[in-house]
Amino acid sequence: MNVTNICCIGAGYVGGPTMAVIALKCPNIKVTVVDINKQRIAAWNHADLDQLPIYEPGLKEVVAQARGRNLFFSTDVEKAIEESQMIFMAVNTPTKTYGEGKGFAADLTFVEKCARQIAEVATSDKIVIEKSTLPVRTAEKIKEVLSSNTKEVHFEVLSNPEFLAEGTAIQDLFKSDRVLIGGDDTKTGNAAVAALVSIYLNWIPKEKILTTNVWSSELSKLASNAMLAQRISSINSLSALCEETGANIEEVSKAIGMDSRIGPKFLKASVGFGGSCFQKDILNLVYLCKHFGLDEVAEYWHQVVKINDYQKTRFAKKIISGLNGTVNQKKITLLGWAFKKNTNDSRESAAIYVADFLLVEGAELHVFDPIVKEARIHQDLTFLWEARNESKQEIESKLKRCIVHKEHIQALESSFAAAILTEWDEFKSYDWNAIAEKMIQSAKVYDGRNVLKSNKNINQYYIGK
Ligand code: NAD
Ligand code: UGA
């Protein structure tokens, strides 16, 4: 099959960068990215590349080369479906907030809507690709929805999960560790897999493209995220023990990671992992295990999320205990809001939960992040409190105590304590001696990312040291 026309439903953190890279590497394929969110599409089409909806190093250079050539962003979902031979689904799959599986299962509403729309619109054969992270056996449900098509169109469903990490998405897409493609072992299934493989072969070496059955592919994505998050919770759990015993988590991480069977990556202790996926995907795994009656397995993975919650709370409590047991009416500075550096994404960021804890204790928060804007920070907190059914009045009164600054120095002036919640490089280059002068005497700096050098003029707390 000669693929010349593809589309992607969902122009988010996955759909946008992934399709931009496919368009760059495959100039003969027309790539259309569609979304129901008009604002997002307008931002993808903005003449000023600094206005793209996603901040990701290297992204604007890729978009600059491909946009208007063979990369297009549009809100016309139906047209894109009709014209494409391959349709990627990269819509959001958040944790369910209602009904059965609430708080654990993935909400498949958006995926199902996509499948239904494809079934309604398609008048020619299509390869439908699961790019979103989905529970194992979702392809079965998608096939069922697609079968409602009445025009005798053949649909082939593939799983092609995405492994990029935000902040390094473009490099991850250029040099993927692996590309995973799951398909049915049938004549049409194998042909569809071959067609997708031929796209990736434009820049990914053949030996890095792994083909499996659909269920293995779906489950491998959840399992990969669970294993990565498990390493962080493991090291974070040990950071608490280090603080009690005089061991140093950086030294322990290094010693552990030098074992080639373990390896050094993902052993950096922190205030806790964030991001839109780790927690959601593990909770989904927990739900699946419970569904199949595997309670012990479910409990094992649930613990990874519980330790992460523990770490965020432990950090907030350290700040309070370091300030004589109360932060009420005290100015506290939060440096960093994004869930990691080099992204404008703050979904499930540890900062949200640390901020919440301190606000409940009466703190006056002053926040600075180099990229995340005030509106987003307030939105993150509002979503959390609305989900807890807090009153409008309560929410407004707490938001008034969460002031967002454009300059770090204003956020730090006369502060009782500063907490580093994202490992932005610029925090390391600040003049911390000058900052110590500006903060109140004997102010403390709580380094939730272990990024600052030790400085005898500052009272410092590090994770796990
Ligand atoms: P996102 O929220 O940034 O983007 C999803 C987009 O889909 C939104 O813009 C939304 O408007 C759009 N959408 C939803 N329903 C639609 C419909 N019916 N028609 C058209 N557009 C629709 O989400 P994301 O971070 O890009 O994640 C997407 C999926 O990829 C999730 O399943 C996630 O788990 C997975 N994933 C994410 C990452 C990551 O780093 N963010 C990495 C790997 C996998
Ligand atoms: C993660 C995975 O790394 C990707 O492979 C996957 O595709 C993606 O989830 C997804 O499915 O969404 P991402 O969440 O973007 O990517 O970023 P990570 O680099 O994994 O970081 C996640 C969180 O863990 C961040 O808050 C980060 O600061 C934290 N972290 C990471 C640590 O605390 N310690 C570490 O050693 C590594």
Which among 429, 442, 249, 248 has a CA at the least distance from the CA of 335? 429
Pocket test for ligand 2, best of 225, 271, 348 (most atoms within 8 A of CB): 225
Report whether residue 415 contacts ligand 1, using a CB cutoff of 6 Å: no
Q: Which amino acid residue places its CA nearest to atom 10 of ligand 2? A: 277
> Residues for the chain: how many in total?
465
Cα-based angle 240, 289, 350 (whole degrees, multiple of 5): 35
Q: Is pLDDT above 90 for 245?
A: yes
Report whether residue 135 contacts ligand 2, using a CB cutoff of 6 Å: no
Please give the share of the chain, as a percent, with pLDDT higher than 90: 98
Annotation marks residue 7 as catalytic: no
Ligand in nearest proximity to the CA of 274:
2
Contact 179, 210 (CB under 8 A): yes
Average pLDDT on 344-362 reads 98
Report whether residue 277 contacts ligand 1, using a CB cutoff of 6 Å: yes
Model confidence, pTM: 0.97
Tokens of 287: 């739900």
128 φ, ψ (degrees, to nearest 5): -105, 125
Pocket test for ligand 2, best of 13, 18, 166, 177 (most atoms within 8 A of CB): 166
| CA-to-CA dists, residue 192 to 5, 68, 262, 270, angstroms | 14, 27, 36, 42
Q: How far is the CA of 158 from the centre of ligand 1 (A)?
A: 17
Which among 443, 440, 447 has a CA at the least distance from the CA of 465? 447
Q: CA-to-CA distance for 35 and 77, rounded, in angstroms?
A: 7
Q: CA-to-CA distance for 302 and 286, rounded, in angstroms?
A: 6
Tokens 């552990």 appear where?
Answer: 256
pLDDT per residue over 129-148, tens digit each? Answer: 999 999 999 999 999 999 99
pLDDT per residue over 411-452, tens digit each? Answer: 999 999 999 999 999 999 999 999 999 999 999 999 999 999
Average pLDDT on 121-136 reads 97
Q: Is pLDDT above 90 for 461?
A: yes
Q: Which amino acid residue places its CA nearest to atom 29 of ligand 2? A: 273
Mean pLDDT of the chain: 97
Q: CA-to-CA distance for 78 and 101, rounded, in angstroms?
A: 31
* pLDDT score, position 159: 98
Ligand in nearest proximity to the CA of 273:
2
pLDDT per residue over 323-352, tens digit each? Answer: 999 999 999 999 999 999 999 999 999 999
H-type helices in 246-373, by residue range? 249-257, 278-291, 295-322, 350-360
* pLDDT score, position 1: 86
Ligand in nearest proximity to the CA of 351:
2
Report whether residue 276 contacts ligand 1, using a CB cutoff of 6 Å: yes
Q: How far is the CA of 89 from the centre of ligand 1 (A)?
A: 8
* pLDDT score, position 143: 97
Q: Which amino acid residue places its CA nearest to atom 3 of ligand 1? A: 12
207 CB-contact burial (10 Å; exposed 0-12 / middle 13-18 / buried 19+): exposed
Q: Is pLDDT above 90 for 169?
A: yes
* pLDDT score, position 150: 81
> What is the separation of C-alpha 229 from the centre of its chain, rounded to a whole number of angstroms?
12
Q: Which amino acid is at 330?
A: K
Report whether residue 40 contacts ligand 1, using a CB cutoff of 6 Å: yes
Average pLDDT on 181-200 reads 98
Q: CA-to-CA distance for 281 and 144, rounded, in angstroms?
A: 24
Report whether residue 90 contacts ligand 2, using a CB cutoff of 6 Å: no
Report whether residue 115 contacts ligand 1, using a CB cutoff of 6 Å: no
Q: How far is the CA of 192 from the centre of ligand 2 (A)?
A: 31
pLDDT per residue over 285-336, tens digit each? Answer: 999 999 999 999 999 999 999 999 999 999 999 999 999 999 999 999 999 9
Tokens 């490089």 appear where?
Answer: 425
365, β-bridge pairs? 332, 402
Report whether residue 250 contacts ligand 2, using a CB cutoff of 6 Å: no
Catalytic residue, from 8, 277, 289, 402: name it: 277
* pLDDT score, position 149: 83
Average pLDDT on 166-171 reads 98
* pLDDT score, position 332: 98
Report whether residue 268 contacts ligand 2, using a CB cutoff of 6 Å: yes
Q: Which amino acid residue places its CA nearest to atom 30 of ligand 2? A: 273
Average pLDDT on 197-223 reads 98
Which among 288, 347, 349 has a CA at the least distance from the CA of 92? 347
Three-state secondary-structure class, residue 35: coil
Q: How far is the CA of 152 from the centre of ligand 1 (A)?
A: 29
Nearest-Å Rg of the Cα atoms of the chain is 24
